[in-house]
Structure 1
Amino acid sequence: MSPFEIDMLEFAAEWAPYGGNDEAAFLRFGLTPDQFHRRLTHLLASPAARTLDNATAARLRQQCADRVGRRSGR
């Protein structure tokens, strides 16, 4: 796992109880909300997700699905 990916997971886990923080994610990572959530979805499907507790990983998967689905019109 790269330092960037570790930082993304830590950031997402920190903000998970609050529903995320798209504005801070853009400022910190330079990614649009859609880009951030798609990359996070990929990370959560990888062994990297084992660094998170199950409840946090599940919450983040749901947040990503909601955000990506909402932006794609689903």
Structure 2
Amino acid sequence: MSNDLADPGHGHSPAAWTAVVIMLVAVAIGTTAYFFDVVWLVWASAVLLVVGALVGWIMAKAGYGAGGHKYLTKGH
């Protein structure tokens, strides 16, 4: 494999990890609420899912995303 291609760092940033963890929690809550037929909690988890995406986007814009000025890349 050639070293000419740079690794863009997808998923290896604090912004990505934070967004994914929030969204996974939202999906777990939503799935459980759907199973137990708690409609308001299903909708609340849908809102939390959107919040997770927004948090990741805001953190990336604040420099914590891949290639951001506050993110330190780590060697593999």
TM-score, normalised relative to structure 1: 0.35
Greater share of residues in helix: 1
TM-score normalised by L of structure 2 = 0.35
